[in-house]
Structure 1
Amino acid sequence: MSKTKIIFMGTPDFATVSLEALYENNYDIKLVITQGDKKRGRGKKLQYPSVKQEALDLGLEVYQPKDINSKESIEKLKNISPDFIVVVAFGQILKKEILDIPKYKCINVHASLLPKFRGAAPINHAIFNDEKETGVTIMEMEEGLDTGDMISKSSIPILHEDDYISLHNKLAKLGADLLIKTIKNIKENNYKSIAQDDSLSSYASMIYKSTGKINWNNKGKDIINLIRGLVPWPVAHTSYKDINFKIYNATIVDKISDDVPGKIVKVSEEGIFINTCDSTLIIKELQFPNKKRMSVENYLRGNNIEVGIKLE
């Protein structure tokens, strides 16, 4: 019996876990398609997307088209004649001509419980919105943005201690496991597609550096969720005496001062206490420019933070 032929499309770390699962489960991965290499870091060195590096490590063929919908790309995919096209955080919209290529389906692994949080940043937005659970949905792809019929779902709770990194890693594994089960069920015709209810949909917009700017007039819990949702990038940030610094970890307590939001009301080894509109936020871990990420306790050993300064 011939192996199931797969074309895999994906780009970031999240997608590598699904690619590994397909490889480990003995699927015939004919081609791995990913976005182009990008210059990153201070030295602006050209770096491979995570999926490209993983594919090369596994000895798989990699293809990086500028436009997946170009005539050349479509011909390349048709010549493979795949059973499935699997898409995990690829980053380009597929036209119907591609969606119609596979023998079975073109399926997408999406990191939310659709129709909630369609779009580019579902994990971040689940944390921002203080969701109590999230999960992964595998859908049959159509030309709309994350609007296809749902084939399978799996959910997990969002724990109080979860940040973007921990939730990303859990969902990547959850999605990979669900992908393997779903492909098997589709081949055996043991599934039922469910249309999404568009009236329940929400959109998870892209994350930018500016997303991390803290508004101290917001509720403390909302600021905490912003901090949790933006580690490791771009990281929530604010300004002290016109110096922008990043906040990696914080907690909230009942308001200890009637001062205005953003005002530093206390500084101790426990942290930097900042007023919000309804509570006091305690910064526990931070990073100033040209310094390492560190606890406030360690930072205060060689630096001074003044009570009474208003963060902007």
Structure 2
Amino acid sequence: MRLVFAGTPEFAASALRALLDAGHEISLVLTQPDRPAGRGMSLQPSPVKRQALAAGIEVFQPNSLRDLEAQNRIRDVVPEVMVVAAYGLILPQAVLDIPRLGCLNIHASLLPRWRGAAPIQRAILAGDAETGVCIMQMEAGLDTGPVLRSHAIPIAGDDTAGTVHDKLAELGARLVVGTLAELPITARPQPESGVTYAAKIEKAEARLDWRLPAAEVERRVRAFNPFPGALASFDGHSVKVWRAECVPTEGEPGRILAADKHGIVVGCGQNALRLLELQKAGGRRLSADQLLAGTPLSVGTSFDLAA
């Protein structure tokens, strides 16, 4: 099919690669403008842009799709379908109406649960047992369109946002290729019950509060790995926690109950958390054993209650 593809991060790049491998004609790729990144803060292309340029596809990076010039750029390639994955710009109705078979969105949740920007992290934070991918026919509302195909996967007890992202990126790529092969498909409207919204993750949310139950603190560690990293504070110094596990021990919230080669056990509002992998500011990730060799974290001392 003749497609326009719109996406920005690696999640979308996986779908773009799959569509190319399946033999679709991608006439135009839309992605966010280059952003400053890295230590030098130089402008960096998105993963989708890099993938498109490597495949010799024309790339279009508008700041908005609301002006007529941008819309005509899409209209000129006469797409049958526009495939959208984590693009980052709102598609106005004028754009939704351009492709003959509409615009399909690859969404990383089981709609209507977790509509919005951060469905993977929100599912882990909420303790959901499963997540998945929906291929949705786009309409003007936020992820409100009818669903053409969906597939669920379990969220494992050790899954992080990073591992779930990679599973869903692969699943979404396969699912959109299969959906395009079956078009036209009768889509099913989303149910009115069970709607939740996945608000964008703010860095302030990653600050660990030891007064919460250990199970909730542990989910925050997994949900904010790899970004922005769960943040603890000891004597005013920041430490990121990358891996932890709950233990059936009770102690004062924030108090270090054990510190040895097995990890650093910290009291929580209910039960305790064993910290297994940490990172001091400006340093590299270390096992708890390695960190203890150079950091005075001893039994009886305390992490700050909230980072």
Q: Which sits farther off after the overlay, 10-19 or 40-49?
A: 40-49
Q: Which sits farther off after the overlay, 123-132 or 302-311?
A: 302-311
1:224 alignment partner, one of 195, 218, 226 = 218
* Superposed CA offset, 1:32-74 (max 9, x none): 0000111112221211111111111111111100112221110
Q: Does residue 1:136 correspond to 2:133, yes or no? A: yes
| 1:309 alignment counterpart | 301
Q: Does residue 1:26 correspond to 2:23, yes or no? A: yes
Asked whether the equivalents of residues 250 and 270 of structure 2 are also in contact (C-alpha less than 8 Å), the reply is no
| 2:202 alignment counterpart | 208
Q: Distance in 2 between matches of 1:104 and 1:76?
A: 18
| Unaligned stretches of 5+ residues in structure 1 | none
| 1:44 alignment counterpart | 41
Q: Distance in 1 between matches of 2:220 and 2:292?
A: 24
Q: CA deviation at 1:172?
A: 0.5
Q: Does residue 1:121 correspond to 2:118, yes or no? A: yes
Q: Distance in 2 between matches of 1:202 and 1:256?
A: 33
| 1:233 alignment counterpart | 227
Q: Does residue 1:68 correspond to 2:65, yes or no? A: yes
Q: Does residue 1:193 correspond to 2:187, yes or no? A: yes
Q: CA deviation at 1:127?
A: 0.8
Using structure 1 for the length normalisation, give the TM-score.
0.95
Asked whether the equivalents of residues 132 and 158 of structure 1 are also in contact (C-alpha less than 8 Å), the reply is yes
1:86 alignment partner, one of 76, 83, 88 = 83
The letter for the 2-side match of 1:245 is: V
2:105 alignment partner, one of 94, 103, 108 = 108
Cα RMSD (Å): 1.1
SS at match of 1:80: coil
The letter for the 2-side match of 1:266 is: A
Q: Distance in 2 between matches of 1:192 and 1:157?
A: 27
SS at match of 2:20: helix
Q: CA deviation at 1:16?
A: 0.5
Q: Distance in 2 between matches of 1:211 and 1:52?
A: 30
Q: CA deviation at 1:310?
A: 2.6
Asked whether the equivalents of residues 140 and 149 of structure 1 are also in contact (C-alpha less than 8 Å), the reply is yes
Aligned positions of 1:158-307 closer than 5 A? 158-186=155-183, 189=184, 191-257=185-251, 260-307=252-299
Q: Does residue 1:155 correspond to 2:152, yes or no? A: yes
The letter for the 1-side match of 2:204 is: S
Q: Distance in 2 between matches of 1:282 and 1:219?
A: 13
Q: Distance in 1 between matches of 2:178 and 2:258?
A: 53
Q: Distance in 2 between matches of 1:217 and 1:254?
A: 16
SS at match of 1:199: coil
Q: CA deviation at 1:89?
A: 0.4
Q: CA deviation at 1:267?
A: 1.1
Q: CA deviation at 1:256?
A: 4.2
| Identity in percent | 37
SS at match of 1:124: helix
SS at match of 2:302: coil
Dislocated runs of 4+, deviation >6 Å = none
Q: Distance in 2 between matches of 1:256 and 1:75?
A: 63
SS at match of 1:8: strand
Q: CA deviation at 1:306?
A: 2.7
SS at match of 1:7: strand
Q: Which sits farther off after the overlay, 300-309 or 130-139?
A: 300-309
Q: Distance in 1 between matches of 2:56 and 2:241?
A: 40
Would you say how many aligned residue pairs link Structure 1 and Structure 2?
304
| Unaligned stretches of 5+ residues in structure 2 | none
Asked whether the equivalents of residues 267 and 273 of structure 1 are also in contact (C-alpha less than 8 Å), the reply is yes
Q: Distance in 1 between matches of 2:156 and 2:54?
A: 34
Q: CA deviation at 1:198?
A: 2.9
Q: Distance in 2 between matches of 1:300 and 1:264?
A: 12
Using structure 2 for the length normalisation, give the TM-score.
0.97
